[in-house]
Amino acid sequence: MKLAIIGAGYVGLVTAACFAEMGNEVICVDADAEKIKGLEQGRIPIYEPGLEDYVKRNHEENRLMFTTNLAEAVKRSLILFIAVGTPQDRDGSADLSAVLAVAREIGRYMNGYKVVVEKSTVPVGTAVKVRQAITAELQARGVDYEFDVVSNPEFLKEGTAIDDFMKPDRIVVGCDDVRVAELMKELYAPFVRTHHPIIVMDVVSAEMTKYAANAFLATKISFINEMANICALTGADIAMVRQGIGSDPRIGHLFLFPGLGYGGSCFPKDMQALIHTAKSRGYIPRVLEAAEAVNRDQRRLFVERVRAYFNHDLQGRVLAVWGLAFKPGTDDMREAPSVTVIAELAEQGARFQAYDPRAMEEARKVLGCNRAVSFASSCYEALDGADALLIHTEWTIFREPDFDRMKTLMKQPVIFDGRNLYNPAKLAKLGFHYFYVGQKVEGQVLTPDP
């Protein structure tokens, strides 16, 4: 099929590359001329395992093209995917200005029947606004081309997005016309040969499904963090509790890891957008608001534990940092716990030697203006002369480090583990002061903000 993917960001690039991999003719459009120039030269603006190979191969074989010319892409394509950003607005709602701007452009350049697909994460009711924007432009032109608007939310995980797209658990299609549903099924048929479902529903339900999925997973993360905090007060072992409840197939182990909470470009933004959607209709989403409150507190409690260990005097203390990205497998720094923790401890006078195996370039953009932060070339270099180590991201290279070497490098063998990577008994035998999420610390009671 002939497809246009409008927006060469994270979702747009993955979508374009994977559709091209299946033999479709794909035009990827973006208003950023420098980004398009880089993509044509094989430079990928984000890190995602496998994406660079997919982009280069399909571009070289002329199945994937890049352009800033939206008009040409609209005219040449049957199915138009809108994959532009929907950042959080001041009131917590999703900013739809880019989505609706693209919809108006589509209306200006349509030359026949088109299927317009919402791939961006958008709140309930956006399809109606997209239809209205396109219709207004067609009326201004004095033409009456037929078109359909479809909701087709993405369920990609950063770090495994290629696999998620190529081997999806499910594909959700929201539309109001049987013919369009069959067209979308044909497009996605190569991706579901293992019989994972293509679920067709109405547009509003499809828009809601994306938010509901992310809200549930975010709430699950906050739930296990709440349990960890209660374990810290009672002396229960959160690792054993997790194993005990995760073995129940109704609960499962996924997204049930205590830590510093969720971050990234999706969960925080989508939770706020869903809360705003509910409140704008007169409903108070108490569970969602509680999950957000717990998530905010996880970082504060971590900071308080570090401050308490140093008797609230961090002036001149050097803290090594392992992990800056919000999760492993990506260089995404958006809403990363490391940013919050570093900022709050820097205000207390701490200095940082930070390392991340993938996010150093992005981290310099976010943290480079903070004079308290320096960047190390390796995880061990970050430890040199450090008073303590803070672990923010559970990269695999941090799971089995040389602990003896660590002790020789550090001023003090102290670890604050925000991802619970290590065995506490083993670290104690090795002579480390080891603090983890859910640990009971005598004489120290950690309570959330009222």
Say if CB 349 and CB 320 are below 8 A apart.
no
List, for residues 148-198, the tens digit of each pLDDT value.
Answer: 999 999 999 999 999 999 999 999 999 999 999 999 999 999 999 887 899
Residue type, 238: I
Tokens at 418, concatenated: 């925000």
List, for residues 221-237, the tens digit of each pLDDT value.
Answer: 999 999 999 999 999 99
**Strand order through the sheet with 433-436:** 373-375, 351-355, 318-322, 388-391, 414-417, 433-436
List, for residues 35-50, the tens digit of each pLDDT value.
Answer: 999 999 999 999 999 9
A 10 A CB-CB count for 83 gives 27
What are the Cα distances from residue 211, in Å, to 29, 99, 268? Answer: 26, 17, 11
Say if CB 234 and CB 443 are below 8 A apart.
no
Residue type, 252: G
DSSP string, 426-450: HHHHTT-EEEETT--BTTB------
Tokens at 415, concatenated: 């670890």
DSSP code at position 192: -
At residue 32 the predicted structure's pLDDT band, cuts being 50, 70 and 90, is very high
Tokens at 344, concatenated: 């709050």
What is the model's pTM?
A: 0.93
Say if CB 342 and CB 375 are below 8 A apart.
no
| Active site residue ranges | 266
Residues whose CB falls within 8 Å of the CB of residue 338, separated by 6 or more in sequence, listed in order: 321, 323, 324, 325, 326, 354, 363, 392, 393
What are the Cα distances from residue 201, in Å, to 11, 150, 166, 289? Answer: 22, 10, 22, 28
Residues whose CB falls within 8 Å of the CB of residue 176, separated by 6 or more in sequence, listed in order: 148, 202, 203
Average pLDDT, whole number, for the chain?
A: 96
What are the Cα distances from residue 23, in Å, to 118, 128, 163, 177? Answer: 22, 31, 17, 26
Across the chain, which distance is largest between two alpha carbons, in Å?
A: 79
Q: Among 79-88, 266-275, 439-448, whose mean pLDDT is lowest?
A: 439-448
A 10 A CB-CB count for 161 gives 26
φ and ψ at 383, to 5 degrees? -85, -15
- Looking at residue 448, its pLDDT comes to 57
DSSP code at position 254: T
Is residue 446 over pLDDT 70? no
As a whole number, mean pLDDT of residues 121-137 equals 97
Report the relative pairing of strands 171-174 and 198-201 from DSSP bridges. parallel
Is residue 128 over pLDDT 60? yes
Is residue 90 over pLDDT 90? no
Q: How many CA atoms lie within 13 A of 377 on its CB side?
A: 0
